[in-house]
């Protein structure tokens, strides 16, 4: 196994660290019970801004590829994320999302030829356990729809991550344009569903608008650009583990912003989750000697990328 680029890994890690603030913003600054509206306003404005900046559109087969990737990585994922966030305590949603590294590692073998090592699989299991210690409470209630949404979100993100890595990018297209395509495609998928299911948006306060602005720009436009950029440079078995940082970040943000206390058990869980992230992310998956090249520069099969 080859070591991954620590610089690229560190930049990519900024995305899940930023996503850790999503739960706080959703519960404290946004209108209640509007998961599809929140998902739409998080994705579509950011995507349209990037389209205006890059001034590039897909060509040929990339139209359907971008539509599928946008549906998986953005539309379906964000919808499931916010349904779970509104119906479950943040801790339960965080534990369900923590299974994504294991799902991505399982898909990377048949689709990318990337073989996860035993140490990586053990690190993934330990990561789920560590996240559970950090965020799960004995009083946590389980809502069937919320649990199914959380698992579905982890699943579609894992599939989207691996397919994104498998297909790469069209020649001459950078991660900024590719991010804009996926955010726009996912946002356009969400818009009619949100209007049909939730109706017209409610009157928004200044606080609501600031919350949506934060989610759309730093939390989505910038964070997803860093994420997709990292996916193009790192193996899936490395990037997927960075998702464990998100629930840990959410706990730390809650401790700072809301004055929530941290128990010794939570601190132990943080140590386990961070240790699992380091072990899993710093070990690349085995690369095959030949295979599909990405449409960027490399001709060898690049290891899978994970999302956002």
pLDDT digits (tens, 9 = 90+) for 45-81: 999 999 999 999 999 999 999 999 999 999 999 998 8
Give whole-number Cα distances, 78 to 7, 41, 152, 232, 308, in Å.
28, 11, 11, 21, 8
Across residues 184-193, what is the average pLDDT?
Answer: 96
Q: Are 174 and 232 in contact (CB under 8 A)?
A: no
C-alpha 223: how far from chain center = 9
Question: How long is the chain?
Answer: 308
Highest mean pLDDT among 38-42, 86-90, 244-248: 38-42
Cβ atoms of residues 251 and 135 within 8 Å: yes
Q: Which residues contact 53 (CB under 8 A, 6 or more apart)?
A: 176, 180
Helix (H, G, I), strand (E, B) or coil at 115: strand
Q: Taking the domains of the chain in order of start, what are their residue ranges? A: 6-281
**Three-state secondary-structure class, residue 215:** helix
Whole-number Å distance between alpha carbons of 58 and 222? 21
Q: Which of 67-71, 88-92, 253-257 has the lowest mean pLDDT?
A: 88-92
Alpha carbon 277 to its chain's center = 15
| pLDDT value for 278 | 74
Percent of the chain at pLDDT > 90 equals 31
pLDDT band at 196 (very low <50, low <70, confident <90, very high): very high
287 confidence band (pLDDT: 50, 70, 90): very low
Most confident of 15-29, 133-147, 185-199: 185-199
Query: Which is more confident, 50 or 158?
Result: 50
List alpha helices for the chain, DSSP H.
6-19, 22-29, 35-54, 62-70, 77-87, 90-97, 100-112, 118-135, 144-167, 175-198, 206-216, 223-233, 236-242, 245-257, 264-281
- Cα(98)–Cα(269) distance, integer angstroms: 13
Read off the pTM: 0.78
Tens of pLDDT, residues 101-145:
667 766 766 666 666 666 666 777 777 777 777 666 655 566 778
Per-residue pLDDT at 7 exceeds 60: yes
Q: What average pLDDT does this structure show over 297-304?
A: 28
For the ranges 166-170, 200-204, 260-264, the lowest mean pLDDT is seen at: 260-264
């Amino acid at each position: 196994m080859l070591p991954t680029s620590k610089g690229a890994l560190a930049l990519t890690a900024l995305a899940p660290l930023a996503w850790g603030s999503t739960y706080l913003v959703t519960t404290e600054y946004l209108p209640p019970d509007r998961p599809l509206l929140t998902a739409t306003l998080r994705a579509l404005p950011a995507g349209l801004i990037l389209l205006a900046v890059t001034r590039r559109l897909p060509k040929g087969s990339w139209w359907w590829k971008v539509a599928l990737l946008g549906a998986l990585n953005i539309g379906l994922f964000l919808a499931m994320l916010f349904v779970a966030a509104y119906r479950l305590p943040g801790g339960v949603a965080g534990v369900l999302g923590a299974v994504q590294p294991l799902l991505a590692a399982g898909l990377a073998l048949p689709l990318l030829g990337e073989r996860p090592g035993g140490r990586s699989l053990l690190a993934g299991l330990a990561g789920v356990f560590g996240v559970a210690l950090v965020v799960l409470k004995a009083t946590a209630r389980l809502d069937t729809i919320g649990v199914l949404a959380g698992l579905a979100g982890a699943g579609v993100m894992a599939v989207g991550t691996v397919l994104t890595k498998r297909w790469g990018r069209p020649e001459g297209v950078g991660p900024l344009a590719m991010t804009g395509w996926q955010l726009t495609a996912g946002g356009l998928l969400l818009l009619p569903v949100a209007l049909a299911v939730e109706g017209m948006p409610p009157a928004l306060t200044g606080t609501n608008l600031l919350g949506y602005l934060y989610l759309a720009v730093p939390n989505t436009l910038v964070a997803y650009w860093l994420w997709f950029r990292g996916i193009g440079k790192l193996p899936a078995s490395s990037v997927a583990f960075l998702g464990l940082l998100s629930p840990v970040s959410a706990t730390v943000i809650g401790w700072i912003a809301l004055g929530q206390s941290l128990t010794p058990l939570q601190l132990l869980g943080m140590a386990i989750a961070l240790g699992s992230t380091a072990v899993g992310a710093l070990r690349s998956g085995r690369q095959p000697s030949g295979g599909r090249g990405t449409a960027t520069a490399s001709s060898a099969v690049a290891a899978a990328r994970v999302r956002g």
